[in-house]
A and B are shown apart, each in its own frame.
Chain A
Amino acid sequence: MSSERRRSKRPLTYRQLSDRALVLSLVGCLFLLPPLAGIFQLDIRILGIPFTGLYLFGVWAALIIGCALLSKPLQDSVDLENPETEESPYKPEDRS
């Protein structure tokens, strides 16, 4: 079990991490923009604080924490990554 976990902890590539960051951002967009965000416009207060304000700052804080967790491996992966191989030499849109 522990060995399995250790194996799954091998460093992720720059591309994987970069993709994760992008997904984090897109999830952020989803929660911070209509129509989804509209669900959280509620006229209730928690400890006297309007709920939507708490919600917005809460999502914001979660995004920052998520990004901070990605930041260190991302920084390391830039060192590891051979920049030449980062982008596939062949992309379909290249044939424009």
Chain B
Amino acid sequence: MLSVDLLLAVCLGYVALLFALAFYVDRRARQGHARWIQSPVIFTLSISVYCTSWTFYGAVGSAARNGIEFITIYLGPTLVFIGWWFLLRKLVRIGREHRITSIADLISSRYGKSSSLAVLVTLMALMATTPYIALQLQSVTRSYQAIVGDVDVNVSAFVIAAGMALFTILFGTRNVDANERHHGVVAAIAVEAVIKLAALLAVGLFVVFGVAGGIGPIFENVDTETIYGAGEIFDARWVTLTFLSATAIICLPRQFQVTVVENVDERHLATASWLFPLYLFGMCLFVMPIAIAGLKFLPADANPDLYVLALPLSLGREDLALLAFLGGFSSATSMVIVAAIAVSTMVSNHIIVPISLYLLRGRREVSGDVRQLLLTSRRFSIAAVLGLGFLYFQASGGSDALAAIGLIAFVGVAQFLPSLLGGIFWRGSTRSGALAGLLTGFAVWAYTLFLPSFGGSVILSSEVLESGLFGIAALRPQSLFGLDGLDPLVHAVVWSMGANTLVFMVVSVMSTASPLDRLQGALFIDVFRNRPNETTRFDPGQTNAEDLFVLAQRILGAQPARQLFDQIASEQNVTTGLPQPTDAMIVKLERELAGNVGAASAHAMVARVAGRGSISITELIDIADETQRLIETSRELSSKSAKLTTMTDELRKANQQLRQLDLQKDEFLSQVSHELRTPMTSIRSFSEILLSAEAVSEEESQRFVSIIHEESQRLTRLLDEILDMGRLEAGTLEMSLSTVEANHIIEAAIDTLDGLIRKKHVKIHRDFEQNQNWVQANEDRTQQVLINLISNSVKYNISENPEITVRCTILSEALQIDISDNGGGVKREEASTIFDKFSRGHRSQLDHGAGLGLSISRAIARAMGGDLTLQFAQDETSFFRLKLPLSDDSVPVAQTS
């Protein structure tokens, strides 16, 4: 049997060692020599504060009672850490950027720095944590009892609580900045983490290999139900427990403290993502064998919760028992210390400080050091939290009801989850939604799980538990609205989380966010996009730098405040005196203060000094900017897609045009070959006749030769026209423009056609507005066009008394030559195709033109800067209109020959 003295000595020695370590590390860190303490391994070890004595003793107890189910409590965190990296990283980033001090601070800060939310979350955390602390005290006193026999549990529990309070106050409140890492505390926790893992592994190895002789043998003669637990393993309770533990690793105040607040480097999360699950794996590895061994080797009335300790004791290994005791002690104390720091920060920042501010209101000139007040309040809070834990322990009389409190606390803190996740991922969540959701979840949790856990002794009587509130069966706490047949825990989780989430979302959707709420939401959700210090604005005109300095002095202390202001001043290039109270300066100050007193209080204080209680216009503009940025991005996107659409359209059109041109080219080629073929055929046949037949008279052969000659001429003309056409279209036809006189050209064209005109007895009317019309054109080509037009009029005229009118009109910039005749004209339906190549009007049966004339004429007219069009007079008769640009030279150059 271990002696009381030895146990006490070891205990005190261990505690002294922790104090010394914390003190040493703290001092080294202050001198900047403790880089190793900021390593990812230490970070991971500090997260393992998750494993409390509820794990160390309780997991074996749970395994002995319910089989393998205990493992879910460690699978949940594993799943969160390996996969939900982005969530943890976002939390850590938000925590650093906004100097978050606790989970209450995070939620309140997100929802418009709301004090009511902060108070609510603090109270919930306090309610969930106090019994948990009591549980730790109980497990330490019980393990002490198990070794040394009968002792006064209350005294030992009080001594432990007091010792923990002392440690926490010493190392947890050295500095008023709650956002600063507590190096001493972290070092002590890391050592304790190693001790508890080593102790559990040692006991496990001893039991398995020292006693049972291997892993296989330990399970011999044990029925499966003992190992797997009764019924299905993978049932609703399994899922619920996994979900709860996954939630707890994020929402437990102490986990938030070590993972988010104490984190110095986001990248440490990457290591912790596998190292922490590995730690949990190690903790769980021997739980089942120890539980089985306890059932086998210990008397049936032994408490399964103390198997870890009782096994080595009963098997005569007092050294191992001592190690196990230290392991349990470590797990209990590390949890108590971190939970006390986390919860006391909340209590101090969100309850005590606002009350003090209220009491001190309007006494700005009082030189009382708020910093001292803060430290005192924090220390008082620590003592109060641990005191509450002790009182709870005493009141519950060390009953077994405490053992269930671990899971009950999990469900309690799980109520933070909807508001937390909604806050950092959902823009639409509002303060009212969070408040309503939390209150609902909290109420349902208390009604269905927390109060019934006292078995009818607190508030809810056993009568109410039996038959429901006011005797209404639908309100029975453990089968709400007739939801029977569920495990009480599953029942409570389903109702509380369901109601919480539903109310949170519905109220969020129904309510509108305040501007500050919206601003904080944008900052939190886009934490990876926003740069710090570009946010909250105040009107500098109303702010006095001295007032701010006084405020900073009172909270940060004289020296740090001086340093901060000097630093800001040097950033602003202000060499003497206080810095300008710019937006950036005030925001920075508010952030600094938030690290000490929480965002809500810091905002309230700065806002009061800066003379603004509510959100300013510039803040609103910021929010508008944020929205604007999104709108612009989406607009850019849509304009880009519109551009793409038009480009596709253009491409499609171009493609269509190309196809059409290709078709036209084919048509053109077939037309050309056809046109060439006709004269060629007659030339060939007439020459064949001339060559073969002797019986051709001189007269006949003369006629044949002249036909061949005519056809050759026609062929040449055709080829010339095609060549012209090609050149015109390719733009390679050289056409020198000069100032020429149009009337003269018209006369020349008529003269050229004189023979034809006489033959057809055509009467030509000239209607010239002026005697001389000077135009910019190529004389020969113009004449070619006119000859073509007039000869068409002559050739295709079917009137008995053919008449042609040539009219010259001067427009502002062009000379307009209209050539009309009385010989039938062009039909309306031909108008669109008359200028196409090889197109011939309905009158063309009279002649064998190739149909290129008009096409070439128009091309020539356009090449000279004019145009050739077909017009219709009011009486539906058609005429051709040639437009030629007037000459710029007012004095005509006499160059016409």
Which residues on A are within 8 Å of B, measured CB to CB? 18, 21-26, 28-29, 32-35, 37-38, 41, 43, 45, 47-50, 52-53, 56-57, 60-61, 63-64, 66-68, 70-72, 74-75, 78-79, 83-84, 86-87, 89-90, 93-96
The 5 A-B residue pairs with the shortest CB-CB distance in the complex, in nearest-first order = A25-B83, A48-B216, A34-B234, A75-B270, A67-B274
Distance to closest chain B CB from A65 (angstroms): 8
**For the complex, is B266 an interface residue (Cβ under 8 Å from A)?**
yes
**For the complex, is B637 an interface residue (Cβ under 8 Å from A)?**
yes
**Which B residues touch A95, using CB under 8 A?**
630, 634
When A32-B242, A38-B232, A90-B633 are in contact, do A48 and B219 touch as well, CB less than 8 Å?
A: yes
Q: Is the CB of B215 within 8 A of A48?
A: yes
Q: A40 — nearest CB in chain B belongs to which residue?
A: B234
Q: Is the CB of B234 within 8 A of A67?
A: no
**Which A residues touch B277, using CB under 8 A?**
60, 63-64, 67
Q: B93 — nearest CB in chain A belongs to which residue?
A: A83
When A18-B86, A41-B233 are in contact, do A52 and B228 touch as well, CB less than 8 Å?
A: yes
When A32-B242, A61-B281 are in contact, do A67 and B82 touch as well, CB less than 8 Å?
A: yes
Q: B226 — nearest CB in chain A belongs to which residue?
A: A50
Q: Is the CB of A52 within 8 A of B629?
A: no
Q: How far is the CA of A83 from the CA of B220 in the complex (A)?
A: 56
**Which B residues touch A64, using CB under 8 A?**
78, 82, 274, 277-278, 281
Q: Is the CB of A89 within 8 A of B267?
A: no
Q: Is the CB of A84 within 8 A of B238?
A: no
Q: Is the CB of B85 within 8 A of A37?
A: no
Q: Is the CB of A37 within 8 A of B274?
A: no
**Which B residues touch A74, using CB under 8 A?**
85, 270, 273
Q: Is the CB of A45 within 8 A of B219?
A: yes
The residue in A24, A29, A35, A60 that gathers the most chain B C-beta atoms within 10 A of its C-beta is A60
Q: How far is the CA of A41 from the CA of B79 in the complex (A)?
A: 20
**Which A residues touch B84, using CB under 8 A?**
22, 25
A-B contact pairs, 19 of them (CB 8 A): A18-B86, A25-B82, A25-B83, A32-B79, A32-B242, A34-B239, A41-B233, A48-B215, A53-B288, A63-B78, A63-B277, A68-B274, A78-B89, A84-B528, A86-B529, A93-B426, A95-B634, A96-B427, A96-B428
Q: Is the CB of A75 within 8 A of B633?
A: no
Chain B positions 221 through 237: 1 when the CB is less than 8 Å from some CB of chain A, otherwise 0: 00010011000111100
Q: Is the CB of A56 within 8 A of B68?
A: yes
Chain B positions 842 through 864: 1 when the CB is less than 8 Å from some CB of chain A, otherwise 0: 00000000000000000000000
Sample of 9 more A-B contacts, CB < 8 Å, known A52-B228, A53-B68? A25-B82, A34-B238, A61-B281, A63-B78, A67-B273, A71-B271, A72-B270, A75-B267, A75-B271
Q: A47 — nearest CB in chain B belongs to which residue?
A: B216
Residue in B80, B234, B271 whose CB lies within 8 Å of A38? B234
**For the complex, is B285 an interface residue (Cβ under 8 Å from A)?**
yes
Q: Is the CB of B633 within 8 A of A24?
A: no
Residue in A34, A50, A90 whose CB lies within 8 Å of B228? A50
**For the complex, is B386 an interface residue (Cβ under 8 Å from A)?**
no
**Which A residues touch B427, using CB under 8 A?**
93-94, 96
**For the complex, is B164 an interface residue (Cβ under 8 Å from A)?**
no
The residue in B83, B216, B278 that gathers the most chain A C-beta atoms within 10 A of its C-beta is B83
**Which B residues touch A43, using CB under 8 A?**
224
Q: How many residues of B contact A (CB 8 A)?
A: 52
Residue in A18, A83, A89 whose CB lies within 8 Å of B630? A89
**Which A residues touch B266, using CB under 8 A?**
78
**For the complex, is B438 an interface residue (Cβ under 8 Å from A)?**
no
Q: Is the CB of B215 within 8 A of A49?
A: yes
Residue in A28, A41, A71, A93 whose CB lies within 8 Å of B78? A28
Q: A34 — nearest CB in chain B belongs to which residue?
A: B234
Q: Is the CB of B68 within 8 A of A71?
A: no
Distance to closest chain A CB from B639 (angstroms): 14
Q: Is the CB of A49 within 8 A of B278?
A: no
Q: Is the CB of A57 within 8 A of B285?
A: yes
**Which B residues touch A86, using CB under 8 A?**
528-529
Q: How far is the CA of A66 from the CA of B85 in the complex (A)?
A: 14
**Which B residues touch A83, using CB under 8 A?**
528-529
When A67-B273, A68-B274 are in contact, do A28 and B224 touch as well, CB less than 8 Å?
A: no
Residue in A25, A34, A45, A96 whose CB lies within 8 Å of B79? A25
Distance to closest chain B CB from A30 (angstroms): 11
**Which B residues touch A21, using CB under 8 A?**
82-83, 85, 273
**Which B residues touch A57, using CB under 8 A?**
281, 284-285
Chain B positions 791 through 804: 1 when the CB is less than 8 Å from some CB of chain A, otherwise 0: 00000000000000
Q: B268 — nearest CB in chain A belongs to which residue?
A: A75
**For the complex, is B526 an interface residue (Cβ under 8 Å from A)?**
yes
**Which B residues touch A89, using CB under 8 A?**
529, 629-630, 633
Q: A68 — nearest CB in chain B belongs to which residue?
A: B274
Q: How far is the CA of A22 from the CA of B224 in the complex (A)?
A: 34
Distance to closest chain B CB from A4 (angstroms): 29
Q: Is the CB of A71 within 8 A of B238?
A: no
**For the complex, is B71 an interface residue (Cβ under 8 Å from A)?**
yes
**Which A residues touch B456, using CB under 8 A?**
none
Q: How far is the CA of A96 from the CA of B428 in the complex (A)?
A: 6
When A71-B273, A84-B528 are in contact, do A33 and B234 touch as well, CB less than 8 Å?
A: yes
**Which B residues touch A38, using CB under 8 A?**
232-234
**For the complex, is B217 an interface residue (Cβ under 8 Å from A)?**
yes
Q: How far is the CA of A93 from the CA of B81 in the complex (A)?
A: 26
**For the complex, is B607 an interface residue (Cβ under 8 Å from A)?**
no
Q: Is the CB of B79 within 8 A of A28?
A: yes
Q: Is the CB of A24 within 8 A of B228?
A: no
**For the complex, is B407 an interface residue (Cβ under 8 Å from A)?**
no
Q: Is the CB of A37 within 8 A of B271?
A: no
**Which A residues touch B232, using CB under 8 A?**
34, 38, 41
**For the complex, is B75 an interface residue (Cβ under 8 Å from A)?**
yes
**Which A residues touch B224, using CB under 8 A?**
43, 50
Distance to closest chain B CB from A3 (angstroms): 30
**Which A residues touch B78, using CB under 8 A?**
28, 60, 63-64
**Which B residues touch A63, using CB under 8 A?**
78-79, 82, 277
Q: How far is the CA of A86 from the CA of B242 in the complex (A)?
A: 30
Distance to closest chain A CB from B153 (angstroms): 36
When A33-B239, A50-B228, A53-B68 are in contact, do A60 and B75 touch as well, CB less than 8 Å?
A: yes
Q: Which of B753-791 contact A (CB under 8 A)?
A: none
Q: Which of B84-124 contact A (CB under 8 A)?
A: 84-86, 89
Q: How far is the CA of A46 from the CA of B215 in the complex (A)?
A: 11
Residue in A22, A25, A47, A52 whose CB lies within 8 Å of B68? A52
**Which A residues touch B633, using CB under 8 A?**
89-90
Q: Is the CB of A18 within 8 A of B228?
A: no
**Which A residues touch B270, using CB under 8 A?**
71-72, 74-75, 78
Q: A27 — nearest CB in chain B belongs to which residue?
A: B83
**Which B residues touch A33, using CB under 8 A?**
234, 238-239, 242
Q: How far is the CA of A47 from the CA of B217 in the complex (A)?
A: 9
Q: How far is the CA of A38 from the CA of B228 in the complex (A)?
A: 12
Q: B83 — nearest CB in chain A belongs to which residue?
A: A25
Chain B positions 267 through 303: 1 when the CB is less than 8 Å from some CB of chain A, otherwise 0: 1001101100110010011001000000000000000
Q: How far is the CA of A96 from the CA of B233 in the complex (A)?
A: 42
Q: Which of B610-652 contact A (CB under 8 A)?
A: 629-630, 633-634, 637
The residue in A66, A74, A79 that gathers the most chain B C-beta atoms within 10 A of its C-beta is A74
Q: B82 — nearest CB in chain A belongs to which residue?
A: A67
Q: Is the CB of B278 within 8 A of A50?
A: no
**Which B residues touch A22, using CB under 8 A?**
83-86
Residue in A28, A32, A34, A78 whose CB lies within 8 Å of B83? A28
